[in-house]
């Protein structure tokens, strides 16, 4: 049943939630985050009452971001996809025990993070090769349906040659900066700037102290800032 939900969601994954787009005001984000959490609680109540369609909504809402988190850790699109599916199954089976003292997405990301870390450690014990960061691995990370949707959005926006050149240069510098920082720093900056998690939520997901999260974010931002200031 859950596998069927995952397959259906994979056929039409929703895009990144506008509430986590960098640059949005903090107050606006907090309002939308609160609204989103309330929606999740309502969906969880429906799932607990036997409505599996409500869980499909949760899968569609968080699948992409969960996938990108897993991909950041295991570096394999196929393994990341399998891990996310397993994580959603585990979350579904554990949903009645979820006390909701944290947001659903924080709880879910914690499951994805831990399963991905465990998987990578198992592979390392079996002699699996360490894979270095390579931005080409994420080029195919967007499901095909979503890739088409993203393309159509870009087609509606006219980009001049100068603007396109500047965008490509910024993207190149960002990729270069990301290659220079550790996995822990990349995960922290992604959870903060892309997913919009608070310091406390990132600490809960990654299992480290809030001070460590702040330190990792400070370092990551310095490296990215330096990359953009070069030249």
In the prediction, which pLDDT does 159 show?
66
User: For residue range 31-47, what is the model confidence (pLDDT) as tens digits?
Assistant: 556 678 899 999 999 99
Q: How many residues does the chain have?
A: 231
- Indicate the number of domains in the chain: 2
Quick one: pLDDT band at residue 117, thresholds 50, 70, 90? very high
Same domain, 118 and 182: no
**120 vs 13 pLDDT, higher one:** 120
Same domain, 24 and 119: yes
Same domain, 2 and 107: yes
In this structure, of 27-31, 44-48, 87-91, the range with the lowest mean pLDDT score is 27-31
d(CA 15, CA 9): 12
pLDDT over 80 at 13, yes or no: no
d(CA 187, CA 169): 23
Same domain, 33 and 111: yes
Which residue range(s) make up the domain with 199?
162-226
CATH number for position 31 = 1.10.1740.10
User: For residue range 128-183, what is the model confidence (pLDDT) as tens digits?
Assistant: 544 443 443 333 333 334 433 333 334 445 667 788 787 777 777 777 787 788 88
Last residue of a domain, one of 98, 126, 154: 126
User: Cα-Cα-Cα-Cα dihedral of 18, 20, 23, 25, to 10°?
Assistant: 90
For residue 22 the two structure tokens come to: 């960098």
Is 113 inside any structural domain?
yes
pLDDT over 60 at 120, yes or no: yes
Is 135 inside any structural domain?
no
User: For residue range 190-219, what is the model confidence (pLDDT) as tens digits?
Assistant: 888 878 889 999 999 999 999 999 999 999
Is 197 inside any structural domain?
yes
Q: Are 10 and 143 in contact (CB under 8 A)?
A: yes
pLDDT, mean over the chain: 76
CATH number for position 197 = 1.10.10.10
Same domain, 47 and 119: yes
Last residue of a domain, one of 81, 109, 126: 126
Q: At what angle do helices 52-74 and 183-193 cross, to 10 degrees?
A: 140
Is 35 inside any structural domain?
yes
Same domain, 25 and 87: yes
């Amino acid at each position: 049943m859950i596998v069927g939900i995952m397959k259906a969601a994979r056929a039409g994954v929703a895009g990144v939630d506008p509430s986590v787009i960098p640059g949005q005001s903090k107050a606006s984000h907090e309002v939308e985050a609160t609204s989103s959490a309330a929606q999740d609680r309502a969906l969880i109540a429906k799932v607990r009452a036997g409505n599996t369609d409500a869980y499909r909504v949760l899968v569609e809402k968080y699948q992409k971001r969960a996938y990108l988190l897993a991909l950041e850790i295991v570096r394999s699109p196929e393994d990341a996809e399998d891990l996310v599916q397993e994580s959603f199954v585990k979350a579904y089976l554990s949903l009645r025990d979820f006390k909701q003292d944290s947001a659903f997405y924080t709880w879910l990301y914690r499951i994805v993070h831990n399963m991905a870390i465990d998987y990578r450690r198992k592979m390392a014990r079996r002699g699996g090769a360490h894979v270095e960061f390579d931005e080409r691995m994420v080029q195919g990370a967007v499901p095909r349906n979503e890739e088409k949707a993203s393309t159509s959005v870009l087609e509606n926006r006219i980009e001049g040659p100068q603007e396109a050149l500047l965008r490509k240069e910024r993207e190149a510098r960002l990729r270069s900066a990301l290659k220079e920082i550790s996995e822990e720093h990349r995960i922290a900056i992604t959870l903060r700037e892309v997913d919009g998690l608070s310091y406390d939520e990132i600490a809960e997901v990654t299992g480290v102290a809030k001070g460590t999260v702040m330190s990792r974010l400070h370092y990551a931002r310095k490296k990215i800032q330096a990359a953009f200031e070069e030249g």
